[in-house]
Structure 1
Amino acid sequence: MKRFIEGADRSQSTLLPESLDDWIDESNPVRVVDAFVNELKLVELGFADVEPAVTGRPGYHPSALLKLYIYGYLNRIQSSRRLEREARRNLEVIWLLRRLSPDDKTIADFRRDNGSAIKKVCAKFVELCRQMGLLTKASVAIDGSKFKAVNTRDKNFTKGKVERRRQQLEESVSRYLAQLDTADLQEPSEALAAKATHLKEKLAKLASEMQKLEVHEQAMLASPDQQISLTDPDSRSMATSGRGSGVVGYNVQTVVDTEHHLIIAHEVTNSGSDRAQLANMGKQAKAVLCIDKLEAVADRGYYTGEEIKACADANIAVTLPKPNTTGMEAKGKFGKHDFAYLADQDVYRCPAGQLLAYWLTTVDGERTIRRYATKACGSCPLKARCTTAKNRVISRWEHEHVMDDAQRRLDADPQAMRRRRETVEHPFGTLKMRMGATHFLMKRLPKVATEMALHVLAYNLTRVMNIMGVQPLIAAMKT
């Protein structure tokens, strides 16, 4: 007769393994966490309380709490309270901590007080990857993504939000007042009196909300970017790729190597734009890889002449597409890209074959602009598709050759943008999946940066274990 696989009798006595080590297989990833932390020099990294105090109650060694956090982030357990429970019931954590069971406050305080040191641990693992020969290719992809903060949209105020909220409140007040006026014209009754009382309570609540809105508006106008967040003051409202959507959170920048897709540099910012991040992230990656020249690819959101020039000055060859911001194509007219620059003659050639010679130089802010024009526009048969002015004028930044170089690299490598997507967007998806729908758990930029460092470390550890295997990685750590 066929039977199902049956479990053991819970009331039967068993002979457990003689040691904790017998519970953990040699290929278990928890052994990587243990070996990695054991090889770190925690004093040099800046961890507090590495040496025990002479007096007072003994505390936990930082290595135990660091192991607990790395294990937690590897296994999608970021809450200090959940980590406390795991330390008492999870055999892997019991083995890792050698039966220690710190309380949730001790666990949370460790992450709060050692943010800078934890970031260095993340960087230390990237350095280890370089030493193991996993980062030999001087090619990276750069991208940014928006991560949710502990701050709902209702607790974030911008000028537009305040105006919309005030309009909603005023409409509600008008509606309730109209209902009160209607009630005054009817025959008195208990139901009508109860309704009037209820409406007056609502009006009083709306008046209170209007007063709070006035306070929030004053604080919002006084802030440098005219935006405030009440729960997490450092978080900001940011637009996302979805049309009409946005998120209150942080903009996380990453640099990912194109060979093994390891995150070699990252930074948490509260700026919603990527436009000022290109050179900064490229230089960080170049320093981590310890190389003289770096190839980087990014999307059009990073395109600014100053950033591209800063990359060129740092010996970073960046490839990225140029966004069309003039609107000429939408109007059915020739854009600047339709005019070919002839460097040897210092002229532009228009679609009709005419040459636009140097005309004058102007200064726009900190930019020196050279302008080129021709007098042949009046008799040109293509003038209707070119300009409504008397003559077409083309402007050229004095350092525009670095932008031309970036365009030439893109034209020579049509798969660059696809390679960028395949390289840098997958890590973001993995990170957000592990973080869950709420993303960050902590408030304020420094603490959020600490949390992101733990997420990046967990991601990189997982990638390297998948590439090398557990035992080879442990052996490499000990050499």
Structure 2
Amino acid sequence: MISTVDPEARHAHKTQSRRQDGFKAHVVVEPDTGLITATELTKACGPANSDAAVGARLLPTDPTAPTQGGQVLGDSAYATGAMLASLADTTWEVALKPWPYRPAIPGGFVIDDFSYDPATHTLTCPAGVTRPVTASHRAAFRQACTGCPLRARCTTSAKGRSVNLGEHHRLHRDHRKQFTDTMIQQSYRQNRPMVERSIAWLTRGSRRTPFRGVTANNNWLHHRVAAINLRRLITLGLSTTNNTWTLATT
């Protein structure tokens, strides 16, 4: 129920064609055990409630996260420039799936085909033409595209190619290069199923929130997570002996 009954329940788009109404539940999952170590429920829309924004807020609150080393895994929704910037100052290895390339021409040149020089703050296109990058992080090639033999693989614009790098373009570029590491990709594929399983346990039979408003439903989410974690711990060998909880180890 949107707006008239619950003003904090909002519209959100999972994709351009798939719309969802309500709230968002965010979780941090320990992939070896499937235990949920941090969670938060937010409105479904708004920059402060995006997956990456909440993920960056939750990670430092996770008491199980290692202070040195460790690895942060997540899908491409978390690979924003702001998220990468927040992780740059940590010792964690970043295994976030990069955003997919969106070439201007299907099968054509992508952003990494343009070479960036931080010393001169310039961008060089695949044809070897160099242009300065403006304060708004844009480089315009325009007239240089006229008669360029590579134009058909670069742009359909009559004005020529213009490239928007974005504020954190260097972090994105380095991140995409790092993710080509076979070990990082293997770790991502290996650990994702357990995380997806934990999310399935959380949402099974509970796709609908029982209350109105963020606060009440956030409290409900934390209680549900605690119950799911307790069930998972029992499966892992948690038991009581003389009123003391013990966890079997192998």
- TM-score between both structures, scaled by the size of structure 2: 0.76
Is 2:71 aligned against 1:295?
yes
Q: Which segments of 5 or more consecutive residues in structure 2 lack a partner in the other structure?
A: none
Flag the structure with higher strand content: 2
**1:371–1:395 contact (8 Å) kept in structure 2:** yes
Amino acid corresponding to residue 249 of structure 1 in structure 2: G
Number of residue-to-residue matches in the alignment:
238
For 2:119 and 2:237, the matched residues in 1 are separated by 52
Aligned amino acid, residue 283 of structure 1: P
Q: Would you say the 8 A contact 1:370–1:398 is kept in 2?
A: no
Q: Distance in 2 between matches of 1:244 and 1:395?
A: 26
CA contact under 8 A between 2:32 and 2:191: conserved in structure 1?
A: no
1:15 maps to what in 2? none
Q: 1:229 to 1:282 in 2, by over 3 A?
A: farther
What does residue range 316-465 of structure 1 map to in structure 2 within 5 Å?
316-318=92-94, 319-324=96-101, 328-330=104-106, 333-341=108-116, 348=123, 350-351=125-126, 354-363=127-136, 369=137, 371=139, 373=141, 377-387=145-155, 388-389=157-158, 392-397=161-166, 399-412=168-181, 413-419=184-190, 421-433=192-204, 436=205, 439-465=208-234
Q: Structure 1's 357 and 350: CA in aligned 2 closer, same or farther, altered over 3 A?
A: closer
- The offset of 1:442, in angstroms, is 2.4
Aligned to 1:238: 12
Q: Distance in 2 between the 1:229 and 1:418 partners?
A: 43
Corresponding residue of 1:470: 239
Task: Give the match's secondary structure for 2:85.
Answer: helix
Give me the CA root mean square deviation.
3.4
Instruction: Name the counterpart of 2:24.
Output: 251
Preserved CA contact (<8 Å) 1:257 1:264 = yes
SS in 2 for 1:463: helix
Deviations 1:422-472 (A, max 9, x none): 132211211222xx2563222222111111111111111122222234247
Alpha-carbon shift at residue 305 of structure 1 (Å): 1.5
Seen in structure 2, the aligned counterparts of structure 1 residues 333 and 296 have a Cα distance that, compared at 3 Å, is same
- State the Cα distance separating 1:418 from its structure 2 match: 2.8
Paired residue secondary structure (1:411): coil
State the alpha-carbon separation in 2 of the partners of residues 438 and 382 from structure 1: 50
CA contact (8 A) 2:121 2:132 kept: no
Do 2:129 and 2:144's aligned partners in 1 also have CA atoms closer than 8 Å? no
SS of the residue 2:134 aligns to: strand
Contact 1:359 1:373 in 2 (8 A): no
Contact (CA 8 Å) 1:358, 1:370: kept in 2 or not?
no
Paired position in structure 2 for 1:110: none
Q: Secondary structure at the match of 1:475?
A: strand
Question: Alpha carbons of 1:404 and 1:238: their partners in 2 closer, same or farther (altered >3 Å)?
Answer: same
Distance 1:437 1:361, change over 3 A: closer
**Map of 1:308 onto structure 2:** 84
In the alignment, residue 426 of structure 1 is paired with which amino acid? R
Q: Report the TM-score when normalising by structure 1.
A: 0.43
Q: Given the superposition, is the C-alpha separation of residues 360 and 475 from structure 1 closer, same or farther in structure 2, using an over 3 Å criterion? A: closer
For each residue in 1:64-91, what CA deviation from the matched residue of structure 2 results, as whole angstroms up to 9, or x when unmatched? xxxxxxxxxxxxxxxxxxxxxxxxxxxx
Larger radius of gyration: 1
Paired-residue identity, %: 25
